[in-house]
Amino acid sequence: MDIRVIKQENFSLTQPQQPRLPIPLPLMVSEEGSFAYYTITKRLPAIVKRVIAENDFPLFLVENLQLLAKELFDGFVRPLTKDKGPDVTTWASYIEPFQGKRWFDVPFYFAEAYFYRRILEATNYFQTRQQYGVDPFALQKRQSLQTSIDSIRSISQRVNILGRHPNDKKDKTSLTTLLYLALWGNRIDLSFWPAGTEDNNHSQIAAYSEQANILMDDTPILADLICNFQGVRIDFILDNAGFELFCDLYLVDFLLVTQTAEKIYLHLKAHPTFVSDAMSKDVHYMLEVLATDKDSQVRSLAFRLQDYITTGRLVCREDFFWTTPLAFWEMPTLMRLELDQARLIFVKGDANYRRLLG
């Protein structure tokens, strides 16, 4: 786990450039005993089985999914069918260098991103009349929120008193608490621990007492930086829905209430991926659930966040870039220009970390 601050003068978002140091070869799936090999042979087939079990798909879609699971072992990378997805054309360029190769002979991150896009193809996600189709991971995301509600209430009792006044941002202890909370919320990733399993235990998260397990901790630098902000734009490149999203939103709330940020942009996935990754509809669903909770502190948070969205201070923005197999230095120019407007960017999750490193 890292909390690392990268100073903006070290790179330019508006001028795409390769990393200054030589880029190591990407992690490959083929190395037996590696996490990548385990993912392709164990985790991804299990995810397909769970998608089948949790959705009332017609038989032909179930057969599509079963074929995908089998293909992981003896199939080859192929182009996407023309499934009406807005990203089909761009995916053709991502697939071209690996077309015809076995799944075991391609870079690990490409294999995972391609797998989740193939699940949408298999389930006709983009071909339904409604825009868009059935989220194959919706049940798990909603169950994860339900199972974390006691932890959400407990944390709300502890931290809802933080940031009730603009001057509260000077309290670095409170700010640091929320930064660590946002960091450790990432432990709940449904692609590793599906909702309902014993390992998915929110009560075991010591959100701000595990500094020893942070590999690179720039939290004091980050806290100093934030304390000097007034009415800036801050962006979050988000990761998981559910409990992690809740932890992120408490930090968002603090930054808006204290006037540290005038506006915050949440960058979200444009379609379901990596099981638990957050889309705009996941943000709105969570706030709807929390707004009706029996705990007044939880409701209070939800009402504030809904008001921020209504007034335009909190903006949910989806983009297909976040579901691609591209590294960050391959980001489209328009996305770079968008992010260049932010004074500070929080980048969440292991997938984004992998993309930062290529």
Greatest extent of the chain over all pairs of C-alpha atoms, in Å: 60
Six-digit token pair at 276?
A: 């638990």
In the chain, what percentage of residues exceed pLDDT 70? 85
User: Which domains, ranges and CATH numbers included, belong to the chain?
Assistant: 2-16+137-357 (3.40.50.10880), 35-127 (1.20.930.60)
Tell me the per-residue pLDDT of 295-321, one tens digit each, with 9 for 90 and over: 999 999 999 999 999 999 999 999 999
Burial class of residue 264 (count of CB atoms within 10 Å of its CB; 0-12, 13-18, 19+): buried
Most confident of 10-14, 256-260, 267-271, 329-333: 267-271
- 240 SS3 class: strand
d(CA 109, CA 116): 11
pLDDT (0 to 100) of residue 201: 42
Mean of pLDDT values over 279-292: 98
Whether the predicted pLDDT of 186 surpasses 80: no
pLDDT for position 173: 83
Length of the chain: 358
pLDDT surpasses 80 at 342: yes
Select from 3, 17, 65 the least CA-distant residue to 327.
17
Pairing mode, if any, of strands 232-237 and 344-347?
Answer: parallel
Torsion sign over Cα 109, 112, 113, 118: positive
Q: Residue 132's pLDDT is what?
A: 56
Q: At which residue do the structure tokens 């930062």 appear?
A: 356
Give yes or no for a cis peptide into 132 (omega within 30° of 0): yes
Output DSSP code: residue 202. Answer: G
**pLDDT tens, residue by residue, 109-155:** 999 999 999 999 999 999 875 545 899 999 999 999 999 999 899 88
- 314-319 and 344-347: which strand pairing? unpaired
Which are the contacts of 44, defined by CB distance < 8 A and separation ≥ 6?
69, 72, 112, 115
- Of 247, 54, 236, the closest CA to residue 145 belongs to 247
> Band of the pLDDT at 1, cuts 50, 70, 90?
low
Q: Is-contact 183 3, C-beta < 8 A?
A: yes
